[in-house]
Structure 1
Amino acid sequence: MTQQQHVLDLKDLRVDRGGVPVLRIPSFSLSENEFVSLIGPNGAGKSTLLLSLLGLIKRQNGTVSYRGREIASPAELLDLRRRIAMVLQDPLLFDSTVFENVASGLKIRGMGRAEIKKRVMTYLERFNLADMAQRSARKLSGGEARRVSLARAFAVEPEVIFFDEPFANLDPPTRQALTDDMDRIIRDRGIAAVLVTHDQSEALRMSDRIVVMNGGRIVQLGTPAMVMNRPVNEFVANFVGMETILEGEVLSNREQQMAVLVAGQEIDTVGDEQAGDHVYCCIRPENVTVSVSHPDEKSSARNLYPGRVAEVASMGPFLKLRLDCGFSLTAYVTRESFAKLELCEGKDVYASFKATSVHLIRRRVA
């Protein structure tokens, strides 16, 4: 992303509940037109962070600034809230028509009747709800109710929008359609957004940056590629799906061409670590290639190991293989490849991966 003005800044946030630390966030910022996703396990503090930015949770310390100006008074906080919309997991619709639900935020803001009608119909159309304008909210399906909730939030044309698990418990096709519509409108209007989600594929698809939280702290913040491929510690590596995490010791480093000893075998990789350093070797399963014959010598993969299929598990369109190569290695293969290679538990195979596919994390040794 190019350098842009920060819409929101959070500094030195501390939130306690009953004297127990809930959030400790030294800094967090959201830039114009930026989409940030918050991921992490249950209880990590993701939703609490959103509520803190809105001033809806008492904080023991910390400041929130809007476009460089600290929000210090109740009037300033009210003005900030008028610039932000929030969509929750529960649509929380009023017992009225779809039209009235979408119009509710505009009425609170004192907009004229003609402008309300124009604005509401615009967003009903964008979310494929125009023919439901006079339908009772009580008669909507789960997916339709989520669409109304989104239309209501976007109709006030906020500068910032927060999403707290808005697509949880929806079937995959409905979820995909809603996220596509939402993402398109956000990009078209240049709205800054923060999404709390447990669906990492959503975060990968829509985000400019991803924040990984754990225990009320930001553990890692970066681009989707950085977070998914260069995790900063073992927790993040596990959380983002680095299925293979191996303990090793650096044997040598010659101009960043490294050899790491893992379970009596050498793994070639690249990095800055020095001989004697203890590390974790992290490898994503999609970066491991499985074959039943010795690969072509022209292959760019510097790591090649004979092994055996120890376990097979279904992963939707893919199959997850746990391979015993003297160390445990996980690979994904398509169902087509699985059938073509006649793979099964106990099958002898070759596993290969590039040196650049190995991410190293320093490991503390007691």
Structure 2
Amino acid sequence: MTTGATLLEISGLKVDRGGVQVLDVAGFSLRENEFVSLIGPNGAGKSTLLLTLMGLLKAGEGSISYRGRHVGAGRDWLDVRRKMSMVLQEPLLFDTTVYDNVASGLKIRGLSRTETAGRVAKWLERFGLAGMAGRSARRLSGGEARRVSLARAFATEPEIIFFDEPFSNLDAPTRQALTEDMDRILRDASMAAVLVTHDQSEALRMSTRIVVMNGGEIIQSGSPAAVMNAPVNEFVANFVGMETILEGEVVANVAQQVTAAVAGVEIDAVGPYQPGEAIYCCIRPENVTIALRTPSGPTSARNLFPAKVIEISSLGPFLKVRLDCGFPLTSYVTRESFTTLELYVDKEVFASFKATSVHLISQRRN
């Protein structure tokens, strides 16, 4: 997706709730057509940032601009909010028909009856609700209610839609179908979006940018690949699924080819760190390969260690295998590979990973 001009921008934003500072964001911006996901643990400030971006929470300090113009109070915010929609965790539908629920935002904005009817029909169709216009909102399934909530938000055809965990408490098939439909429709409609989610696969699938928050601050912001594969510190590495995080020290660096001492062994990696620097070696489990014997031919994996299986757990289509290589290491394997390898606890195997699969972080950053 190609992004355009900056829509929304904040600077030096601080928010207090009950006398406690809950948000301290130096800067954040959202561009046209951009999809930003906010991730982080409970209490990180994600929903607070969302409400502040909509002007529903007052900032104690800082500035908010919309298309380069400072947004003050009163009429300023009213005009800006008309260009926004929000979808909450619960649909919060009115006790009336599906049609009236979808039409509610349009009536507030003063659209004529004809314009409203056309807009409602359009968005009911896009969300697969065309045959439900006259149905009572009280008689909808959870997935149908979420679709009505989405159609209501999209029907105002805003420049930005904010989503606060809109698919929580849905079964996996319904959730996947809804996210796929919403993602496609959002891109077709050329709207910007900000999503609060605890589902990292959801963020990875839909986002052009991921923002990691903790303690009311933005810790890292970047493309999904950058955040997942190059976390800036140990907290982000843990949060985005770097199952293996090892403390070590650089013992050599030759043209960015790093050798790090970890638990009495050496690990090859790539990075700028120099001998004597304390670092973390972070390895994603999907980048670790398990074999029954050492490779007989050339291999691109610079790191190869004898290992013992110490724990196996199911992750749906994959299995998580924890290994003891003299240091802890985790690998994900498919069920087919698991069967072929005949893995079991205490089995002796070999574990390998490429030097380029090791992400190094300075311990000074934490």
Q: TM-score, normalised by structure 1?
A: 0.98
SS at the partner of 1:63? strand
Moved more, 278-287 or 124-133: 124-133
Aligned counterpart, 1:246: 246
SS at the partner of 2:143? helix
The alignment's C-alpha RMSD in Å is: 1.2
SS at the partner of 1:293? coil
Contact 2:98 2:134 in 1 (8 A): yes
What does residue range 148-227 of structure 1 map to in structure 2 within 5 Å? 148-227=148-227
Alpha-carbon shift at residue 273 of structure 1 (Å):
0.1
Aligned counterpart, 1:328: 328
Aligned counterpart, 2:50: 50
CA distance in 2, matches of 1:296, 1:189: 54
Contact 2:5 2:32 in 1 (8 A): yes
Alpha-carbon shift at residue 118 of structure 1 (Å):
1.1
CA distance in 1, matches of 2:132, 2:338: 46
CA distance in 1, matches of 2:73, 2:234: 42
* AA in 2 matched with 1:209: R
Moved more, 51-60 or 147-156: 51-60
Percent identity, aligned pairs only? 69
* AA in 1 matched with 2:301: A
What does residue range 60-75 of structure 1 map to in structure 2 within 5 Å? 60-75=60-75
* AA in 2 matched with 1:120: V
Contact 1:284 1:357 in 2 (8 A): yes
Q: TM-score, normalised by structure 2?
A: 0.98
**1:116 maps to 2:136:** no
Aligned counterpart, 2:356: 356
CA distance in 1, matches of 2:53, 2:307: 51
SS at the partner of 1:227? helix
Number of residues paired by the alignment?
A: 366
Alpha-carbon shift at residue 16 of structure 1 (Å):
1.2
* AA in 1 matched with 2:29: S
Aligned counterpart, 1:308: 308
SS at the partner of 1:47? helix
Alpha-carbon shift at residue 19 of structure 1 (Å):
2.5
CA distance in 2, matches of 1:69, 1:297: 63
CA distance in 2, matches of 1:203, 1:318: 20
SS at the partner of 1:279? strand
Alpha-carbon shift at residue 30 of structure 1 (Å):
0.1
Aligned counterpart, 2:103: 103
Contact 1:98 1:137 in 2 (8 A): yes
Contact 2:2 2:33 in 1 (8 A): no
Alpha-carbon shift at residue 3 of structure 1 (Å):
6.6
CA distance in 2, matches of 1:141, 1:350: 49
CA distance in 2, matches of 1:149, 1:296: 58
Contact 2:233 2:365 in 1 (8 A): no
CA distance in 1, matches of 2:283, 2:25: 30
CA distance in 2, matches of 1:73, 1:292: 66
Alpha-carbon shift at residue 198 of structure 1 (Å):
0.3
Consecutive unaligned residues of structure 1, counting only runs of 5 or more, are none
Consecutive unaligned residues of structure 2, counting only runs of 5 or more, are none
Aligned counterpart, 1:4: 4
Contact 2:322 2:329 in 1 (8 A): yes
Alpha-carbon shift at residue 298 of structure 1 (Å):
1.2
SS at the partner of 1:168? coil
CA distance in 1, matches of 2:66, 2:59: 17
Alpha-carbon shift at residue 90 of structure 1 (Å):
0.7
Alpha-carbon shift at residue 365 of structure 1 (Å):
11
CA distance in 2, matches of 1:111, 1:56: 24
SS at the partner of 1:346? coil
CA distance in 2, matches of 1:199, 1:215: 19
Contact 1:278 1:365 in 2 (8 A): no
